[in-house]
Amino acid sequence: MGFEYLGLSEQLLAAIKDAGYTEPTPIQAKAIPAVLQGRDILGIAQTGTGKTASFTLPLIDILSEGRARARMPRTLILEPTRELAAQVAESFEKYGKNSKLTMALLIGGVAFAEQEKLLDRGVDVLIATPGRLLDHLDRGRVMLTGTEILVVDEADRMLDMGFIPDVEKICKLMPPRLQSLFFSATMPKEVKRLTDQFLKDPKEITVSSPKSTATTITQKIVRVAADDKTKRAALRYLIQTNDVKNGIIFCNRKSDVKVVAKSLAVHGFSVAEIHGDLPQETRTQTLAKYKAGEIQLLVASDVAARGLDVSDITHVFNYDIPSNPEDYIHRIGRTGRAGKEGWSFSLTTPRDKKYLDALLKMLGKDIPEEKLEGFEAPASRDRKSSRKPRQKDDGRQSKAPAGREENKAPSRESSPRKDRPPREKEPADRGKPVVGMGDHVPAFLLRDAK
Ligand code: AMP
């Protein structure tokens, strides 16, 4: 079934065609007509399913039918991270190019003044992270009483990041006549409580994860010696011997993100790093270059890469097995999108055994091994190295509570060891000084949708 049966306008159909999409994804086919009918939606779907367009497309049509320029925002979209917020803005730009809608992004890392200038001019669509929106509300610079449609995206990630109380506060500020669309990959009880409270007779749409289509991603584990030099050499070898158009290398620790990126650059690879210590401006610019194909490899931490929407990443490399098995799914899900083929290679050392076991248990199956001769640890050396107290280097012997390695282990370069270093959390923007974005705010973050 094509897009033309979903009730969208001719103008929008033309924009969809220009974007190169011929068929709606399952969530689009189910959600778009229901949103156009004014129904509340509970979409149980994750990134990669086409869920963003499942709400941006009907919203563009609904908003275009109303008055051309709103004084108060008519639609509010809440996103857990700045990157996801920016992607939704891009989606509005792409499909809304034939409409006259205006939008503003309220995310951390961008000066309040810039955002307020846009708000003062009046916007149809407000895309915000919860903390920054509440800051604007506190400053009295945004009114939500004209909101007609609320979208809460990635509700389970909001929960992971501790934003549910903020989301709840915002939901309570909404006017009574409201159409609400909630999206979440999973339904933990805290999210269920929220949807039970705020959704009115929602149409429930569950779509299976595109990541379960194991056929599109070829996964391999690569057993290597535990020392970092060997791991980096093995990584280079894998990149050189595979047809890597573009790839992401995930590291558990920020300190490794920096070291691995630097090492690859020294060896002549086209590479950039992305992690929570970098200013938002740098992260946005790096992502834009990577998306444009100007950078071949991105070395990333889990949080920084969340929701990253680049549709044709060919390879994902795990420099470490993630300590949280679910991160593995998020990581490898960056490749093999939209039916394209993808590959993932996960380095594993004898010291990772605990994490590998947990991962295989979660997957309920083995990951085939790619043998890399010359990089494997001789059994005796491994045994010796696994006995060595390596606490300082990798934190894995630590008795700290289970959690993300990135949050658990200190950065060797930048933070002194603490028992509980702060989580890399974003947008940690409430009350934080604004990172100097100056004149370098990417155009799409500030521009009105044409
Ligand atoms: P999302 O789940 O919204 O993050 O979208 C995942 C990817 O699928 C994005 O790269 C979209 O550009 C792409 N996409 C969205 N809708 C379609 C469609 N109908 N056909 C092909 N690709 C799509």
Same domain, 196 and 78: yes
Instruction: Read off the pLDDT of residues 63-75 as tens digits, 9 standing for 90 and up.
Output: 988 765 557 899 9
**Domain-ending residue, one of 183, 209, 235:** 209
Q: Is residue 444 part of a domain?
A: no
Residues 193 and 272 in one domain: no
Pocket test for ligand 1, best of 8, 30, 52 (most atoms within 8 A of CB): 52
Q: How many domains does the chain have?
A: 2
Tokens representing 205 are 């749409």
Torsion-angle region of residue 367: left (phi > 0), alpha (psi -120 to 50) or beta?
beta
Task: Please choose, from the candidates 205, 403, 19, 426, the residue with its C-alpha nearest in 3D space to the C-alpha of residue 3.
Answer: 19
In a domain, 436, yes or no: no
Residue 43 pLDDT exceeds 90: yes
Ligand 1 pocket (Cβ < 6 Å) reads 21, 23-25, 28, 47-53, 309, 311, 337-338
Query: Are 191 and 249 members of one domain?
Result: no
Domain final residue, candidates 386, 401, 436: 386
Q: How far is the CA of 166 from the centre of ligand 1 (A)?
A: 28
Closest-CA residue, ligand 1 atom 10, reads 311
pLDDT of 339 reads: 65
Q: Looking at the whole model, is its pTM more than 0.75?
A: no
Eight-state DSSP code of residue 416 = -
CB 314 within 8 A of CB 337: no
Interval 154-211: pLDDT, tens: 999 899 889 999 999 999 999 999 999 999 988 989 999 999 999 999 999 998 765 4
Mean pLDDT of the chain: 80
End-to-end CA distance of the chain: 29
pLDDT digits (tens, 9 = 90+) for 228-253: 999 999 999 999 999 899 999 999 99
Domain match, 133 and 232 both: no
For residue 305, give both structure tokens: 């890469």
Q: What is the mean pLDDT of residues 266-276?
A: 92
pLDDT in tens, 110-128: 888 888 888 888 899 999 9
pLDDT band at residue 82 under the 50/70/90 scheme:
confident
Do 295 and 275 have their domain in common?
A: yes
Considering the domain architecture, whether residues 9 and 144 belong to the same structural domain is answered as yes
Residues 6 or more apart whose CB falls under 8 angstroms from that of 154 comprise 47, 79, 80, 84, 183, 184, 185, 307
Tell me: do 191 and 282 sit in the same domain.
Answer: no
Both 87 and 194 in one domain: the answer is yes
- Domain identity same for 11 and 131: yes
Alpha-carbon gap, residue 70 to 151, rounded angstroms: 18
CA–CA gap between residue 242 and residue 81 (Å, rounded): 32
pLDDT, mean of residues 86-108: 90
d(CA 294, CA 312): 14
Q: Which segment of 165-179, 278-292, 343-357 scores lowest on mean pLDDT?
A: 278-292
276 and 163 in a common domain: no
Do 76 and 222 belong to one domain? no
Give 418 or 153, the one with higher predicted confidence: 153
Is the Cα torsion angle 32, 38, 41, 47 positive or negative in sign?
Answer: positive
CA distances from 262 to 163, 183, 241, 244, 269 (A): 34, 38, 20, 19, 10
Range(s) of the domain holding residue 133: 3-209
Same domain assignment for residues 184 and 247: no
